[in-house]
Chains A and B, each alone.
Chain A
Amino acid sequence: MTRQIVIQPVTRIEGHAKVTIDLDEQGEVQDARMNTVELRGFEKFCVGRPAEELPRIVTSICGVCPWSHHLASSKTCDALFDAAPPPAGVKLRQLANAIAFTEEHILHFYFLAGADFVMGPDADYTMRNVIGIAKALPDVARRVVRCRALGARMLEVLSGKSIHPVASVPGGFSKPLTPAERDDLLKMGEEVLELAKFTIAYAKSDIFAKYLDVVKTLGVVKTGFLGTVTEDGTLDLYDGHLRMMQPDGSCEDFPYERYTDYIEEHIEPWTYMKFPYMKKAGRLSMDLDNPVGVYRTNTLARMNVCERIRTPLAQAEFEEFRRTFGRPVQLTLAYHWARLIELLYNAEYAMQLLSDPEITSKETRVACRPRAARAVGCVEAPRGTLIHEYETDQDGIVTYANLIVGTTHNNAAINMSVKRAALDNIHAGQHDPALLNMVEMAIRAYDPCLSCATHELDGRIPVEITIRAPGGETLAVVR
């Protein structure tokens, strides 16, 4: 190896990451990988605490998807205490989940990934950001800010708090929804649904069509997929079976409780983040030509594993997506398209739930009694399948906890996409900010949330590329 390119931190993802690209003597890419720092010790911190505290505590893991942790933990506690929430309790949780998804997906499209497409992937960095979006699309920007505020307000009405939620409890939901609150939420939800419809129409006409070549080539890798579906294969983000799809499209369903029979974790010496892989493959290989055991989660995975979507507009979009790309879709940038289908689905589903008379039932929770048990709870978080597993003693005190977060499932695939994008875009040692942004775009497609995994920043500019000689001597620094 003669030279090394380091991109640190990758910009406009949640959290931060460092990308290292090793070049050979000819300046061709020899290897590329993404490093992250993981928040350690959370599972240990849970041990010794009453299990019913965990749904509140886990929201501090991450300011990015607190609702997903809150709900996964609540579901785990339901199972620990053998408590079945009443239908209204389940529906209120599903409603909160749907609203939180719309907020997240709007954020990603307009704030994190949109600048690459609205301004163009090779636009100057100083304009390729959220302030550039505000200037390029001022009316849309105003609508986006309003709808994000509406989403936050909806979650506050529903649960009292939107950032550190506490409303979901073991056995159900602590706060019934009044008819007056339901009526308010319907008005707000209608507006969010209109933005969702606009967004996917705008993206299809102005972005995906224009950048189809990039979508079809950037960071493409061949993997399996994991997601949650109901008994009949309908997409479900709150409950169901896990479905593991092989790269050839064949599928196997299994209950959450058996996740350790299907998922194994691999460790690499250069990163704290683990690499989950398909256990039945026997090993993990991130070789681009012959990958073994790699699977992906998050929006594209969910579109691949499901058979249908339960809301009409999203179902129509899903059918068009499948007609366009087939099944399974391996194009990494198709994550964006899939994300907007999910945005539409969640906006529609929130309205469906709000229109259900049962949503205002006062029976929203059941009493729980601690016991010794092991339980697994799972939801689909915006960034992938989120698994919580706890064990308790007879007093309901946690004796073991394990969490697999959405982004971690995608760790191997993200690393492969980084390498693919680097191999395709960097030749003879030639690189510039636009080419390096292509590598970052491959990462951003996965919407990785590393903020529950990051702790300390060592203070570098948003994108810094260091080229080093074999002895460590710095040949060039590109900013």
Chain B
Amino acid sequence: MDGLARDLPAHCLAETLVLGCGNDLLGDDGFGPALVDRLLQEGLPGGVLALDTGMGVTRLLFDVALSPRRPRRLIVADAVRLGRTPGTVSLLPLDAIAEREVRAISAHQEPTSCLLKELGAVGGIEVWLLAVEPERMPEEVSPGLSPAVQAALPVAGAALRRLLAEEAAGAGSGRGMQAEGG
């Protein structure tokens, strides 16, 4: 283990970092944490770290931003309103997403969306958004995913694994995808 590896947290050292964002008290906003839970149960390839960040994603991104070593690729899993059918899964590179939509990411932690752009543009990280179109984002505390978003969990997991497999096979992965949940 080199000196940097001893100094830095795992989320700075992983080759690919998957962050499940959101609040599981607020309906479909719990998508990110639920997806990470599923991924961890199924197991992930080496070099891939998946974390349930809940509403604390910003602090992990700050660490990544300040760190002398950073993941090569960051995948943010979140429920984002992109105007599609509820349950639709989108896996897109951040630079392919319209400005307005980038700003809708990680609704709970406003600094996050601009930090993601900075990590991509200045930090040299390949940033991806793994988004689900929410059906139910309650105004008041009300846990539980909607059927559409629940059904999207395996779809999102499969999309992520395809991206990782393409990378492992050396294929280009800049296209992104969109799929209906369930």
Interface residues of chain A, those whose CB is within 8 Å of chain B, are 9, 11-16, 39-42, 44-45, 60-64, 66, 107, 110-111, 129-131, 133-134, 138, 141-142, 144-146, 148-149, 152, 163-164, 451-452, 454-457, 459-462
Contact = CB atoms under 8 A, between A and B. Distances in A.
Interface in B112-151: 113-115, 118, 122-123, 137, 139-142
A152 B8 CA distance: 12
A62 B123 CA distance: 27
Nearest to B107: A457
Contacts of A45: 25, 140-142
Contacts of A459: 100-101, 103-104
A352 B138 CA distance: 45
B56 A130 contact: no
A15 B109 contact: yes
A16 B109 CA distance: 7
B62 A40 contact: no
Given A141-B67, A461-B114, 4 more contacts: A15-B109, A130-B65, A134-B67, A164-B54
A337 B142 CA distance: 40
B56 A44 contact: no
B142 A145 contact: no
Contact of B7 (A60, A111, A134, A145): A145
A459 B99 CA distance: 9
Interface in B40-54: 52-54
B59 interface: yes
B109 A145 contact: no
Contacts of A144: 66
Contacts of B142: 41, 45
B24 interface: yes
Contacts of B111: 11-13, 462
Contact of A457 (B103, B118, B123, B139): B103
A14 B52 CA distance: 18
A138 B108 contact: no
Contacts of B101: 459
12 contacts: A44-B141, A63-B56, A107-B62, A130-B115, A131-B65, A131-B118, A142-B67, A145-B66, A148-B59, A149-B63, A455-B107, A462-B111
A45 B27 CA distance: 13
Contacts of A41: 139-142
B58 A14 contact: yes
Interface in B61-81: 62-63, 65-68
A66 B23 CA distance: 13
A40 B7 contact: no
A357 B113 CA distance: 46
Given A41-B141, A44-B140, A462 B110 contact: yes
